[in-house]
Each structure stands twice: as structure tokens, then as C-alpha cells.
Amino acid sequence: MEGYGDRIVKQGEWRYYNKGIKITSGKFKNSSPLGLWKYKGFKEISWKNYQNNEAKYRIDIPNDWIVNNNYINAVSIVNDTILKKFTTKIDIQIGTIKTSFNEWVDSLKDEMKIDKTVSNVKLKKLNLLDINNSLQIESTRNFNDFGVFEVNQINIEYDNKIYMITIMVKTKSDYSYKIIGEQIMRSFKFVNFENRIDI
């Protein structure tokens, strides 16, 4: 990627490449993609904002994607209503934390060790402005009937809750979906809180 802006907020014109080939370019304002984005060998996408005031967050998603399971503490967003056809899925879940963040992370690690559908796990502590505890988890997950997905999850402790933002992109799908997933992840923002996730 190349462009102007710090690593918390994307601003202005940005271009995305894969193996030296330009895939797309467009403009950001406060990490929100603006206008139409044309992806090489793909399609044009315009963006809309999904906001959950009760759960205190908002996120930008492609205009034609579908919001499913829209609850205060859980939402799923997919690029296709037919489950076996979707290539990208976004889950946002919010839970209460009854232990320290580190103890919660340890229990999560234990769960992943015994989950046979999860492999290639990489964990990285994030430094997010004004956020004390956050963790990125990258993995590969086999959902059997639905296929194998690359999973990128950001876990944030905020306001005595755990926010789990998960982007799943089917392996071997068009590279544009990975870019779109990254754009969605970066756009996540707490309502009345100006700092955004940087991955």
C-alpha cells in the first residue's frame, strides 16, 4: 500500500497492489472509504455506514452487502445471502469480561489449541491510541460445508466489554476481497471516540 496518513487514520488518496499489480485506488476521510472504488477484474463498490448506537460503534461496509443477525451484542454482515456462495463475512460480537484481559486471552488460546478447525494461528498485541488492551489474531479456519477461510480478528477491551471484530475471507477468492476486508476493519470506530483500529 502507499498513500498519505498516519497509521491510525487513513486520509486522502490510497492505492492497493498485489504482487506489483494495482488492484484499486480511492480516497479516505478519517479511514472511511469515499465514493466509488473500482477493483481490477472485479466490480465497483460504493460504501455505506452501519452504526449500532446501543453498542457504541460504527463501521463502513459495501453498499450492497447484507446485515444479518442484527442484535445489540452481535451482528453478521455478508457479501451474499446464499450461505454457500459468500466469500467474505464480518462478525462483530460484544461480551462482558469477568477476568483480566490477559486471563481472557489465555483462555482464548486454550480454546484454539483444541479446536480442530483452526490452524496457522498468529497473535499480535496492538498499540491503539487510548486503548489499554487489544489483540490481533490471524488464523485459517475450515468450516467444512462453507470452505476454508482466512480469519483476521481484532479483540479490544473497551468500556468494560470485549469487542471482537472478525473478518473472514474464503481462501482462493479474488484478492479484492482481502482489500475490502482490510478497508472494513480499518473503518471500525467507537461512537464518540475518534481513534480507529490500525492493522
CATH code where residue 20 lies: 3.40.1000.10
Q: Where in the sequence is the domain holding 89, given as residue range(s)? A: 2-190
Per-residue pLDDT band for 83 (boundaries 50, 70, 90) equals low
Per-residue pLDDT band for 6 (boundaries 50, 70, 90) equals very low
Asked if residue 176 belongs to a domain, the reply is yes
Q: Check pLDDT > 90 for residue 9.
A: no
Asked if residue 92 belongs to a domain, the reply is yes
Asked if residue 100 belongs to a domain, the reply is yes
Asked if residue 21 belongs to a domain, the reply is yes
Position with higher pLDDT, 27 vs 72: 27
Asked if residue 195 belongs to a domain, the reply is no
Asked if residue 199 belongs to a domain, the reply is no
Asked if residue 198 belongs to a domain, the reply is no
| 140: its cell numbers | 485459517
- The pLDDT tens digits of the residues spanning 149-199 come to 999 999 999 888 899 999 999 998 888 888 998 899 888 888 765 444 444
Picking from 184, 186, 180, the residue whose alpha carbon sits closest to that of residue 199 is 186
Our count of domains for the chain comes to 1
Asked if residue 196 belongs to a domain, the reply is no
- The pLDDT tens digits of the residues spanning 108-140 come to 899 999 999 999 999 988 877 678 888 999 999
As a whole number of angstroms, the distance between CA 20 and CA 37 comes to 19
Position with higher pLDDT, 2 vs 117: 117
pLDDT score of 54: 83
pLDDT score of 86: 74
The cell 497509521 sits on which residue? 7
As a whole number of angstroms, the distance between CA 89 and CA 169 comes to 7
